[in-house]
Amino acid sequence: AGKNNPLVVVTRLGDPRNQKIGMTLWQNGVVHEMHYSSDLSWDDVLPALASRKTGISMPLFIQEGNLWWGLTEEEFENMAINWRSNQRESGQLHQSSMSMKNAIYRRPAE
């Protein structure tokens, strides 16, 4: 990642019954670390990533175990816009988070 390009790495550790999720953000050469407790899930983390308030843009990479997943900037923008447009209707929150997960769980182009 270039010096001015934010890079987010989300890690998911432990077995599914005791997940620990952490997020590390590099921006302008500065590392910011945010750690989530084990009772949080992707449904808690992804809305924060898509929030306009976080100021996080691309690239976004996901690490799960030894596998790395990536989103293109266009994919992330669409994902974030979909979340923001749906967050006004509480009934759409879960559906939106699921579509975000589906977008992430793909191997980046080689």
The pLDDT, as a whole number, for residue 92 is: 43
Q: Are strands 60-64 and 7-13 parallel, antiparallel or unpaired?
A: parallel
Q: Is the pLDDT of residue 110 over 50?
A: no
Does an H or E element contain 78, and which?
A: helix 73-86
Q: Is the pLDDT of residue 96 over 50?
A: no
Question: For the chain, what percent of residues have pLDDT higher than 90?
Answer: 0
Does an H or E element contain 102, and which?
A: helix 93-104
Q: Is the pLDDT of residue 70 over 50?
A: yes
Confidence of residue 46 (pLDDT cuts 50, 70, 90): low
Note the pTM of the prediction, 2 decimals.
Answer: 0.32
For 32, the 3-state DSSP assignment is strand
The CA distance from 72 to 85, in Å, is 20
Domain map (residue ranges) of the chain: 7-104
